């Protein structure tokens, strides 16, 4: 069994779960602003989305940690349940991360039901921020200054807001397009400019923090993987620009709706590639 590969897959799916929770919560807030009359349906659909995301995150956070333990033990699946080793490593970064995630994923699913109340909203937002912050506890920036770790937290939140909101938008575009649907897409496009700027700015600062010079972008395995990620993000930005400036203004024509459905779907696939590359250079490549 290739434990590093299983750990990377699990980590990638934890990224998907995190994006589902953060992006789904953002999508829920945005949809309620645009479709206030449809709040029961909006609430029910997003509740299912959040529950699925929390369950996905919980399951693969545990699987990823068991893979980490098994990789150290190198004795098959039996070694994954070495509780003596777990207790020895309990204060190591991987253990701290999984403990935080095992606590926070269920909390988010439970608190989300009361997210229409101020206290529930505050706990939900805090829990989502803490989930994003948990990724600073391990990996390349675990020992970085607090300012850099804050940038990583913002980077995770920005990517999750963008990537996690795509599924609800994709489903909305597949329905008959109304003025409210167009307003939803326009609102998303305006707000997305903010978190895309945060995503790019924080990503570039962290890249130059980790790589000592430009040559490392093509001379090291980490740099090559990061370059691949930048290429994919550039494609994402291109599709987002086409959606915002070309397709959304032409709604509700059938031609624009058909192509918008395709481009949002392509964005979702590219987001999955970004998560996969991030998991690979966090877990497998190292630095």
pLDDT, tens digit, for every residue of 166-214?
A: 999 999 999 888 888 899 999 999 999 999 999 999 998 988 888 777 7
* Calpha distance 82→102 (Å, rounded): 19
Number of domains in the chain: 1
Give the range among 4-18, 43-57, 109-123, 272-286 with minimum mean pLDDT: 272-286
CATH of the domain at 252: 1.20.1630
Average pLDDT over residues 267-277: 96
* Model confidence at 66: pLDDT above 50: yes
Half-sphere exposure of 15 (CA within 13 A, CB side): 26
Task: Give the model's pLDDT for residue 149.
Answer: 93
Cis ω before 252 (30° cut-off from 0): yes
Task: Give the model's pLDDT for residue 187.
Answer: 94
Can you give the residue range of the structural domain that contains 82? Answer: 3-285
Give the three-class secondary structure for 28.
helix
Query: Which residues have a Cβ under 8 Å from the Cβ of 184 and sit 6 or more positions away?
Result: 30, 31, 34, 35, 169, 172
C-beta separation of 133 from 167 below 8 A: no
Percent of the chain scoring above 90 in pLDDT? 61
Give the CA angle between residues 142, 2, 102 to the nearest 5°.
45
C-beta separation of 228 from 212 below 8 A: no
Residues of the chain by 3-state class (helix, strand, coil), percent to 5: 85, 0, 15
Query: Which residues have a Cβ under 8 Å from the Cβ of 191 and sit 6 or more positions away?
Result: 30
Q: Give residue-wise pLDDT tens across range 235-253.
A: 999 999 999 999 999 998 9
C-beta separation of 280 from 2 below 8 A: no
Average pLDDT, the chain: 90
Task: Give the model's pLDDT for residue 281.
Answer: 80
- pTM equals 0.94
| Between residues 96 and 143, the one the model is more confident about | 96
């Amino acid at each position: 069994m290739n434990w590093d590969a299983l750990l990377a897959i699990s980590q990638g799916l934890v990224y998907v779960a995190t994006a589902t929770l953060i992006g789904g919560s953002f999508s829920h807030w945005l949809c309620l602003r645009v479709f206030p009359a449809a709040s029961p349906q909006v609430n029910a659909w997003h509740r299912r989305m959040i529950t699925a995301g929390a369950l996905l995150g919980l399951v693969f956070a545990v699987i990823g940690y068991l893979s980490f333990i098994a990789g150290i033990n190198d004795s098959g699946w039996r070694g994954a349940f070495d509780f003596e080793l777990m207790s020895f490593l309990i204060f190591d970064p991987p253990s701290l991360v999984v403990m935080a995630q095992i606590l926070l994923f269920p909390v988010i699913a439970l608190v989300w039901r009361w997210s229409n109340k101020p206290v529930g909203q505050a706990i939900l937002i805090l829990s989502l921020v803490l989930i994003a912050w948990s990724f600073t506890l391990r990996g390349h920036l675990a020992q970085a200054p607090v300012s850099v770790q804050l940038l990583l937290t913002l980077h995770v939140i920005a990517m999750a807001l963008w990537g996690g909101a795509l599924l609800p938008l994709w489903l909305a575009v597949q329905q008959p397009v109304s003025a409210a649907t167009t307003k939803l897409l326009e609102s998303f496009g305006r707000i997305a400019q903010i978190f895309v700027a945060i995503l790019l700015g924080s990503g570039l600062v962290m890249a130059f923090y980790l790589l000592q010079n430009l040559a490392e972008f093509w001379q090291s395995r980490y740099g090559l993987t990061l370059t691949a990620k930048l290429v994919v993000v550039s494609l994402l930005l291109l599709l987002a620009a086409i959606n915002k400036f070309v397709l959304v203004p032409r709604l509700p024509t059938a031609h624009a709706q058909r192509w918008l459905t395709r481009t949002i779907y392509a964005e979702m696939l590219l987001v999955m590639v970004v998560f996969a590359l991030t998991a690979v250079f966090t877990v497998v490549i190292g630095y």
